[in-house]
Structures are given as C-alpha cells and as structure tokens.
C-alpha cells in the first residue's frame, strides 16, 4: 500500500501523542499500587467505559467480524454468542456491582475475599493467579503476531534486518516497534496512562469507523449488494439449517468456508450458544483488563454504569465500520478475492478495502485508528498482568512490608518481563497457534463451572473451586488434542464445532467442584458470612443468610433475582439492536432499521426505569 506523506504524518503524530501521555501521567501513577493499577479509584465511570470500549475494539476481532458478515450476512449477528458476547449484559446488570463491593485490586485478591484463608483458599488463589498469567502471556504472543501481519499488509516499508546469523522478519520488526511503544507508555503511566490513551484511541477509532461507513454507504447501492449475495443473506432469522447457497454468486468458494466452520445446523448451534452462554455469563469476567476496569471504579454503581456504557458507545460505530468494509468487499473485491483461488482468506477483506477505497488523509487516520485498536487491547493487558505478580505473589507471600516505591518499581519490571516472554512466544508462530488454541479452548473451557458456583452456592469452598478448575482444564485439554477420537466415540460428526462439547466440559467440571467441596468442611465460615453481607448475591445462601441475620437482626438483605432476570433479557435485546441497526442501515433495509430503532429506544427506556434507577452501592 502506498502512503502519502500526510497519511504517514497522521500515524506518527498519533504514536507521539500516546508516548507523551504516558510520560505526562507517570507522576500520578507513582503514588502507590492502587494508583498504578486502578488509578486510585478516582476516575469517572464514563471515562473508564470509553477506555474499556477501546480495549475491546481490537484489530483481529474487527477483521474476523468483517469476515463473518461477508460470509453469513445478517445471521452473523448471532455468531458472537459463541463466547457469548452478551456476558457483558450480565456484568452490567448485577455482576459488576457484586464484584466492586469487594474493594479488591485483582481477580486473585477477590478470590481471597470470597474464600478467606486456609489450604483450600490458597489452592484457589494459586490457580487463579496461574490462570491469569498464562492466559495473559499467551494473548500477548497472539497480539504480537497479529499486529505484525496487519502492519506488513497495510504499510509499504520493509523493516526486516539481520544481526549476524539472527534475522528479524518484516512482520516481527513492525510488531516490536508497536509493542515497544505501547509498553513504554503503559509502564510509565500505569492505569492513568492506559485510560487516557485509550480514550484518545476510542475517539480516533470512532471517527475512522464513521469515515468507512460513509464510504461504504455512498459507494455501494442496495441493488449491487443484492447481486453479490445469495438469497437469505439479508435475513436475520434462521431455521434449523443455515440455507445459504453461494454457488450462483461471484463467490462460490464461500460454501466451502461454511462447511469448514460446521455452522450448517444453525438452529442447533444457536440453542447450544444460549445453553453455554447462561453458565459462562454467570461465571463473570475472566481476570483480565475488563475485570480491572470494574475494580477501578469509584463505587459499585459506577462499576455497573461503566460496564453498560462500554456496550452503548462501542457497538454502533464498530458495526458501522464492519458493515461498511463488508459491503465494499462484496461489491468491489471479487477480482482480488478470486485471485486467491483455493487459499482464499476472507479475513483480508478489511486491509484490501482500506487499500482500494480509503482516500488521502483518511487512510492515515484509519490506520492510526486500527493501530489504536491494537494498542488499546495490548496496553490494557500489559497494565493488568503485573498486579498478579507484585500484589498477589510478591507482596502477599514474600515482602508484605515492601514500600510503595519498591512495589511500583517491581511492577514496571514485571510488565517488561511479561512482554518479553509474550514476544518470545510470538517469534515462534507455529507453536503459538497450538498455544493459543490451548488457552482459548482448554484454559477458558474449565472456567465456567467453578466461577458460576462461587457466586450462587454458600457451601462451595476453595477446594471445590480448585477441583472444578483443574477438572475443566483436563477435559478441555483432552478435547483439544483428542477431539476426533472423542467425537467418534460419541457418534458425532468430525467437523462439529467445539461448542457442542461444552456440556461434557461442564459436567466434568461440576464433578470436580462437588468432589473438592465435600472433601473438607466449609473453611472460614465467618469470611463467607462477610462476603455475603457485602456482596448480597442471589442463589442458595440460606444457612449463611440465617447466621448473618442472627448476628445482625436489623440488617436488610435484598434479593433482586426477578428484576435482574428481567433486565438481562431486556439488555440482550438492547445489545442485539445495536449490532443489527448499522447492518440494516448499510444494506438499505429501512423497514427493519425502523423496527430495530424503536426496539432500541424502548429497551433503553426500560433499562433506565428498571435498572439504572434501582442501582445501589
């Protein structure tokens, strides 16, 4: 891609501004650990919401979302439920409040708040620290490899070089530069720097998204889109089968992509996504940057508002950009995509569209915005990870009396060390693929059962948490490496998506939870009572509630299960509206656009009345 000097100047200016912000804010971050990792719990919820939205707007995710819209059309709005994406609704409706009431600094510290001290509690503490550190290093490696590929496909300069017998490829040179700049401003300014630069990055990405949406809307007509896609592509709803046939379109090889994904039985897939989603969502956020934003807010109600604002400010602009790229690709990129032949890669729609359609000046703005998307995610991880080393290992077990100055200095060292390890994995791309699969499939596969029960069951203890995490990890790893054999034993199709094996993972994890829980009596009952008093979760807490009220007879404990359930349903519909409104806008389906706009405003009013107005700290 050829870059005009103006485009290059915009990219360089953005990188300089992010570095300047880190150095400017370094004084604020150096007060103590809470200032460094959580901004001293002084930042406004809406600022953290913009920051959180920026951290979730990554390059790889954007390229993937463009690809699934290209391939599956409006039905692609359901596919992110694989994670599930609506776990964010559970977080803002009730989990953010429950979590922030702990006043903890990290996910591991929260585990101590839940289970107290003792052998079982220590085991649960250790495994969550390991979980956090391994997943963080793996994703650092993943992002290192991803940003290198993005930069080489979109920037025209060859930065490869050799030192003796050691050669650095063009991809790795770009990745080292961008990761290095991100690490510098992050370790200098801590959470203050991360949030300040991410707010800047969010506005830059939003402006870039609007530019792409404008180009897509003005350059593509509804008739051109209809001529490029099969019947049913523009329909959100589906039956049991997908029923998208690309054979009579300019892109017949898309049928091979659908077959390879195993999404043909779309109705069954949707049912399994809902089943998994309920358990995974109640489990809550993993111990990463999204949890850190929750713990950084001033109050529990601010944590809920922050989590809600992340959805509100991110979805519409992001999906305007996604839809803009997708329709441009469908209509104008047939020669480039067709030239790929059997090795067709639909994730290249985004960089190809930038190269072909984005005009002078805006190209630099858009590249800076996409770099911002990467840097926002990477910086959030760099800031979140060292807390587990310094606060949860060094301060807790080695030097409880260490000074704030020393702890912050060690946090800086830890950040640099973890980045080096992540980059080392990133240099080994082939083994990285297996590592990333292990983290996302195995490590996260065992997370749901233990982290669901910790919220809702009084008898659940540290041994149970440890047992469930280990059992889930083992069965998920077996599925990852021996999926063909397991699928064959169960009489299922070989290309079946991994989500259909989630019930097996869940059952094995639950067995581990139960065995661990009943291995020993409930440790630290008074700590569990204190947890219930502060958090006030709904679920099976009868014996603990009874003992708490015997200690404090006048205490009022509110159970809001019915209201929370209602708000979750409303919130999922509200979130889906923000996904499909930009898509219907871009393909000119004005009837559906009007219907979903009304749905968005009605659900917004309902959330204001039945959720926002009911928030309490």
pLDDT band with cut points at 50, 70 and 90 for residue 293: confident
Q: What are phi and psi of 515, to 5 degrees?
A: -60, -45
Where exactly are the structural domains of the chain? 5-444+556-614
Q: What angle do CA 519, 510, 96 make, to 5 degrees?
A: 105
**pLDDT of 444 above 70:** no
What three-state secondary structure class fits 168?
strand
pLDDT at 431: 45
Percent of the chain with pLDDT over 90: 35
- Taking the alpha carbons of 258, 259, 261, 263 in that order, is the dihedral positive or negative? positive
| Residue 558: strand, helix, or coil | coil
So what's the pLDDT on residue 398?
Answer: 85
Sign of the C-alpha dihedral, residues 527, 528, 533, 537? positive
How far, in Å, CA of 354 to CA of 371, rounded?
13
**CA contacts within 13 A on the Cβ side of 445:** 29
Q: Kindly state the tokens that stand for 486.
A: 């397991």
Q: What is the pLDDT of residue 420?
A: 83
DSSP state of 161: E
Tokens of 307: 């989590």
Pick the closest to residue 321 from 529, 4, 579, 530 (CA basis). 579
CA 424 to chain centre: 23
Mean pLDDT of the chain: 84
141 or 254: whose pLDDT is higher?
Answer: 254
| Residues with Cβ within 8 Å of residue 598, at least 6 apart in sequence | none
Q: What is the DSSP letter of 358?
A: P
| Single pTM value for the model | 0.88
Q: Which residue has the higher pLDDT, 587 or 132?
A: 587
The token pair that represents 138 in the structure block: 């793996």
pLDDT in tens, 332-376: 888 877 777 666 676 677 777 777 777 777 788 778 877 776 776
Nearest to 532 by CA among 122, 128, 101: 101
pLDDT at 258 over 90: no
199-242 pLDDT tens trace:
877 888 888 889 889 999 999 999 999 999 999 999 998 888 88
Q: Which CATH architecture has domain 5-444+556-614?
A: Up-down Bundle (1.20)
Q: Which carries the bigger pLDDT value, residue 265 or residue 564?
A: 564
The tens digit of pLDDT for each residue in 153-209 reads: 777 778 887 777 777 888 888 888 888 888 877 776 666 667 777 787 788 888 888
- SS3 string, 455-516, reads HHECCCCHHHHHHHHHHHHHHHHHHHHHHHHHHHHHCCCCCCCHHHHHHHHHHHHHHHHHHH
Residue in the block written with tokens 């790229």? 325
Q: Confidence class of residue 441 from pLDDT cuts 50, 70 and 90?
A: low
Q: Which residues pair with 540 in a beta bridge?
A: 457
Answer yes or no: are the C-beta atoms of 448 and 279 closer than 8 Å. Answer: yes
Per-residue model confidence as pLDDT tens digits over 486-507: 777 877 776 777 788 888 889 9
């Amino acid at each position: 891609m050829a870059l005009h000097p103006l485009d290059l100047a915009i990219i360089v200016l953005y990188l300089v501004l992010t570095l300047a912000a880190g150095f400017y804010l370094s004084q604020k971050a150096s007060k103590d650990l809470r200032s460094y990792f959580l901004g001293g719990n002084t930042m406004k919820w809406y600022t953290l919401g913009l920051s959180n939205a920026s951290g979730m707007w990554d390059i790889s995710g954007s390229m993937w979302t463009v690809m699934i819209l290209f391939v599956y059309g409006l039905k692609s709005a359901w596919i992110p439920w694989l994670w599930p994406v609506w776990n964010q609704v559970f977080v803002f409706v009730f989990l953010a409040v429950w979590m922030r009431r702990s006043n903890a600094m990290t996910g591991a510290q929260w585990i101590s708040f839940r289970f107290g001290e003792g052998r079982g509690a220590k085991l649960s503490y250790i495994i969550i620290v390991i979980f956090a550190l391994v997943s963080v290093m793996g994703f650092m490696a993943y992002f290192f490899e991803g940003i290198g590929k993005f930069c080489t496909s979109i920037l025209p300069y060859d930065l490869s070089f050799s030192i003796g017998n050691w050669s650095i490829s063009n991809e790795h040179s770009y990745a080292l530069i961008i990761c290095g700049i991100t690490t510098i401003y992050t370790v200098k300014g801590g959470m203050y720097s991360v949030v300040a630069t991410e707010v800047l990055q969010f506005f830059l990405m939003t402006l870039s998204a609007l530019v792409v949406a404008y180009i897509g809307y003005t350059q593509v007509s509804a008739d051109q889109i209809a001529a490029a896609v099969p019947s049913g592509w523009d329909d959100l709803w589906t039956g049991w089968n997908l029923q998208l046939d690309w054979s009579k379109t300019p892109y017949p090889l898309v049928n091979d992509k659908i077959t390879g994904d195993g999404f043909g039985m779309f109705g069954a897939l949707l049912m399994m996504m809902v089943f998994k989603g309920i358990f995974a969502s109640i489990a809550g956020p993993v111990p990463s940057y999204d949890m850190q934003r929750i713990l950084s807010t001033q109050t529990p109600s601010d944590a809920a508002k922050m989590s809600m604002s992340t959805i509100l400010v991110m979805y519409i602009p992001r999906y305007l950009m996604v839809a803009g790229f997708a329709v441009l690709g469908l209509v104008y990129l047939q020669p480039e995509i067709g030239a790929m032949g059997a090795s067709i890669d639909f994730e290249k729609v985004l960089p190809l569209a930038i190269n072909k359609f984005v005009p002078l000046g805006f190209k630099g703005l858009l590249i800076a915005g996409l770099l911002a998307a990467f840097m926002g995610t990477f910086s959030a991880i760099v800031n979140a990870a060292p807390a587990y080393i310094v606060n949860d290992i060094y301060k807790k077990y080695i030097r409880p009396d260490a000074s704030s100055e020393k702890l912050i200095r060690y946090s800086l060292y830890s950040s640099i060390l973890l980045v080096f390890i992540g980059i080392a994995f990133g240099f080994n791309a082939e083994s990285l693929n297996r590592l990333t699969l292990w983290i996302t499939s195995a490590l996260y596969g065992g997370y749901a059962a233990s982290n669901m029960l910790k919220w809702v069951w009084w008898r659940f203890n540290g041994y149970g948490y440890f047992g469930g995490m280990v059992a889930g990890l083992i069965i998920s790893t077996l599925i990852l490496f021996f999926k063909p054999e397991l699928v064959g034993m169960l009489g299922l199709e070989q290309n079946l998506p991994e989500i259909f094996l989630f019930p097996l993972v869940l059952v094995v994890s639950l067995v581990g939870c139960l065995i661990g829980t009943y291995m020993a009596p409930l440790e630290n009952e008074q700590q569990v009572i204190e947890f219930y008093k502060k958090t006030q979760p709904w679920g099976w807490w009868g014996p603990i509630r009874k003992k708490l009220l015997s200690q404090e007879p006048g205490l009022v404990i509110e159970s809001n299960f019915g209201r929370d359930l209602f708000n979750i349903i409303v919130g999922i519909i509200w979130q889906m509206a923000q996904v499909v409104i930009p898509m219907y806008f871009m393909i000119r389906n004005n009837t559906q656009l009007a219907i979903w706009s009304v749905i968005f405003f009605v659900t917004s009013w309902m959330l204001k009345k039945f959720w926002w107005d009911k928030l309490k700290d």
